[in-house]
Structure 1
Amino acid sequence: MKQAIAAAEAAASKRQPLICPLCERPIPPQAKSSRHHLVPRLKGGTHLGTVRLHQICHSAIHARFSETELANRLTNVESLKADPDIAAFIAWVKTKPPAFHAPTRRTKARS
């Protein structure tokens, strides 16, 4: 049992941390994260691409945009990063530690 635990810990220490493609910070194992469907599932994206994001980054996207907006004009990470609201969010969140998380509220435009 001790050997198995030691082997698992050794393998884990060699793995490269995931990088959030939105904010470009590492996603440590203890950080909250989730998969973002590049095309929303409700708009036909169930079997299309996903990306692993920090939960705060994922929440920021869905707080700002409707499923229709995401499906029509924000179907890749580059288009999300180019949006001024998301760009301002990224500039802010890059100053936080990789495991940082805080509740996200809908923007006034979406309320």
Structure 2
Amino acid sequence: MGRRGRRWRGDDAATPGASAPATCPLCERPIPPGARQSRHHLTPKLKGGTHGRTVQLHQICHSAIHARYSEAEIARRLADVESLRADPEIARFLAWVRTKPDDFHAATRLTRARRATKREPR
């Protein structure tokens, strides 16, 4: 199965038989079994990150990070959960998402600033 299929289908669900659902370290809400979730490399693999430094997040929380910041910026100043939570953009997102049900998911788009940096010069 391809990487994208696995990531979006939530195949990284909590281990069957586990006593309590995992908790998203970013928004601090439980991750219910079967909810969309994925692993976030604290230091992106493109910038030297390894599988050993990952955290399990709600998919919407993970998407919010990558919609706002480049891999380089994540590696440079947002390579731990505390830094992510302290960032004003992520803090605003967290205040909003904490009002949603634990299994809430919505499509996440790149911010205008990220779209502008991804455009190729003509």
Q: Tell me the TM-score normalised to structure 1 length.
A: 0.86
Greater C-alpha Rg: 1
Paired AA for residue 81 in structure 2? V
- Counterpart of 1:37 (choices 18, 41, 57) is 41
Corresponding residue for residue 69 of structure 2: 65
What is the root-mean-square deviation in Å for CA atoms of aligned residues? 1.2
Q: Tell me the TM-score normalised to structure 2 length.
A: 0.79
Note if 1:20 corresponds to 2:24: yes
Q: Report the 3-state secondary structure (helix = DSSP H, G, I; strand = E; otherwise coil) of the residue aligned with 2:100.
A: coil
Q: Report the 3-state secondary structure (helix = DSSP H, G, I; strand = E; otherwise coil) of the residue aligned with 2:114.
A: coil
Deviations 1:22-53 (A, max 9, x none): 00000001210000000000000034400000
Identify the structure with bigger relative contact order (alpha carbons < 8 Å, sequence gap 6+). 1
Q: What is the CA-CA distance between 1:16 and the residue it aligns to?
A: 1.2
Give the whole-Å Cα distance in 2 for the aligned partners of 1:48 and 1:109: 31
Q: What is the CA-CA distance between 1:96 and the residue it aligns to?
A: 0.3
- Following TM superposition, the consecutive aligned residue runs of length 4 or more in structure 1 with deviations greater than 4 angstroms are none
Q: Extract unaligned runs of 5+ from structure 2.
A: 1-15, 116-122
